[in-house]
Structure 1
């Protein structure tokens, strides 16, 4: 992914959204601003940003990790909190692999003509 990630120039491609689908871009920006508004939400901004870091880590979106890590720190998150958010993401991703791995046993059992 690092071969594709370019903080300095990647944002310039937003022009395609602006030119081709400005109505959708406007709606997305308004939605994102609402989700991450500093005030007026039950979950404090720092925790919403830490959630975003964890989700970005889980989806392996370097752009999300980059932006939301910085925004989380700006909202007061510590390095320890960033680490814990990353570990939460890691546990959830591993748990998904564990849970879905059981499907291999189920489908294998069905293929063999056995069921529990």
Structure 2
């Protein structure tokens, strides 16, 4: 997926963070580095990267899909593990649609005890 992004200008725009909010960038980098540290966490890095990949797919962030997919492979993830992560993301997203559909019924005034198709 990397070839779909022209990242040549990204460092230029990263300078905006360094210039405008250096304290926040420093704290974010420290936090991100702690979350994805190779050692010292309870969940092995490969599984944290697979979780990050699934979240990236769910949120549909192309940059994150690229980064965490490659990081998962670098951490030892297999093709099958990447595929299952994608299916986990798909199931969560579909489950969200199902659950929010029920919310839509409630907000639309659908009586769950009726046997018809109209609201009321």
TM-score range, shorter chain: 0.7 to 0.9
Partner of 2:15: 15
* Structure 1 spans left out of the alignment, 5+ residues: none
Cα distance in 1 for partners of 2:93, 2:119 equals: 31
Written as runs of structure 1 = structure 2, the 5 A alignment for 1:1-116 is 5-109=5-109, 114=120
More helix by share: 1
* Structure 2 spans left out of the alignment, 5+ residues: 112-117
Query: What CA deviation, in whole Å up to 9, does each residue of 1:34-73 have, x standing for no partner?
Result: 0000000000000000000000000000111010011100
Larger radius of gyration: 2
The offset of 1:5, in angstroms, is 3.6
Alignment TM-score, normalising by the size of structure 2? 0.85
Q: Alignment RMSD, CA only?
A: 2.0
| Paired positions, count | 111
Which deviates more, 11-20 or 50-59? 11-20
Alignment TM-score, normalising by the size of structure 1? 0.88
Cα distance in 2 for partners of 1:21, 1:49 equals: 27
Cα distance in 1 for partners of 2:90, 2:106 equals: 25
